Structure 1
Amino acid sequence: MEHQVRSSVQINVSAEQAWGILDDFGGVEKFSVGVETSPIISEKNTGLGAIRHCVFYDGTGVHEEIIEYEDKKSLKVVLTEHSMPLKTMYAGFRVEKLTETSCEVTMCMDFVVKFGLLGALMGKLMLRPVMKGVQKKLLSGLAYHAFTGNTIGSELPPSEELAQALAS
């Protein structure tokens, strides 16, 4: 059974600026909580076929390859070589201009949990809420990094600092 989780955030930066950060495919550690490094391991730095290896602060890692790419609009990655109990995992981002100085970024995750019916139940009851939390942290980190230029690291900044980056 496939599960889908979707979240959006409105950010006080231009769509071009937000896209530039997402398109810096090897720079996800600048805005993603928990990602320590994310070197490119393919010939391409971005676009279809670009692959990065995300290493988390806990020592685990994942490969992410861009499988769909619309310049200045959206990208979708497939996650492989990970220790999560997943058969498949995809994550995508879409950037839409709201005004000259604000945009909306939407993140969508699609995944299938291993273990048949038990996995489907685990996905619905446990992993969907976990993935929703991951999305909220990642999008908050993106907003904060885009607005301030500061790198996130292993924890999000306080709520009052995050609020400045979010469009109301």
Structure 2
Amino acid sequence: MIQFQRSKTLNAAPEAVWATLSDYMNIDAFAPGITKVDALSEQSNGLGAKRRCHFPDGNSVAEEVTTWTEGRGYRVALVDLGKMPLKEMHADIRLAPNGSGKTHVTWSIYFATKFGPLGWLMGQALMKPMMRKVLDGNLQGLEDHVTGHTTAVPQPS
């Protein structure tokens, strides 16, 4: 399994960051690469909540919350990977107070590729740089959303 993570200290209180992150069905409010979200479960957050995230290229993935720690973070498993060349993928979002009303957020991705060793090389060479852009955009978008700033958010390529 390949692991990748990005972190950022946000100029926002943990309660404000958690209020946005725990609004699970509305990740498209701050994640620049997600154009739309469909709820796939009756519950809107917490353990077992499911959503489908749509991307500008027409692809989509379905995600389910597999762990939920109130005020601290959650893990999602991608239960439908769409057209991605992956066998499985998980994402963890964790937050911690960082003094003076700031919050340290860590977003980790774990994935296993299809196609054996060639897929692993593709994951290292192509997917990790793509994930860096996605996670950096998500973290910046999260900070902008929580603080009300409207700085340009890098779009995934």
TM over 0.5: yes
- Correspondence 1:45-84 to 2 at 5 A: 45-81=44-80, 82-84=82-84
Which residue is equivalent to 1:33? 32
Shift of 1:49: 0.3
**CA distance in 1: counterparts of 2:62 and 2:144, whole angstroms:** 25
Shift of 1:120: 1.0
Give CA deviations for 1:90-148 in whole Å, capped at 9, x if unaligned: 11100101125211110000000100111111111111111122111111111111110
Give 1:85's aligned amino acid. Answer: P
**CA distance in 2: counterparts of 1:60 and 1:127, whole angstroms:** 16
Shift of 1:158: 6.4
The answer (yes or no) to whether the contact 2:137–2:153 under 8 Å persists in 1 is: no
Query: Which shifted more, 60-69 or 96-105?
Result: 96-105
Give CA deviations for 1:58-116 in whole Å, capped at 9, x if unaligned: 22111110001111001000113221100011111001011252111100000001001
Q: What SS class does the counterpart of residue 35 from structure 1 fall into? A: coil
**CA distance in 1: counterparts of 2:124 and 2:39, whole angstroms:** 33
Which residue is equivalent to 2:20? 21
Which residue is equivalent to 1:125? 125
Using structure 1 for the length normalisation, give the TM-score. 0.86
Which residue is equivalent to 1:153? none
Shift of 1:44: 1.2
* Pair 72,136 (structure 1): closer, same or farther in 2 beyond 3 Å: same
CA RMSD of aligned residues (A): 1.6
Give 1:73's aligned amino acid. Answer: R
| Corresponding residue pairs, total | 153
The answer (yes or no) to whether the contact 2:89–2:111 under 8 Å persists in 1 is: yes
**CA distance in 2: counterparts of 1:146 and 1:92, whole angstroms:** 19
Which residue is equivalent to 2:152? 157
**CA distance in 1: counterparts of 2:17 and 2:86, whole angstroms:** 29
**CA distance in 2: counterparts of 1:149 and 1:91, whole angstroms:** 26
Structure 1 runs (4+) deviating above 6 angstroms are none
The answer (yes or no) to whether the contact 1:25–1:40 under 8 Å persists in 2 is: no
Give 2:10's aligned amino acid. Answer: I
Identity percentage over the alignment? 33
Shift of 1:31: 0.5
The answer (yes or no) to whether the contact 2:32–2:153 under 8 Å persists in 1 is: no
Using structure 2 for the length normalisation, give the TM-score. 0.91
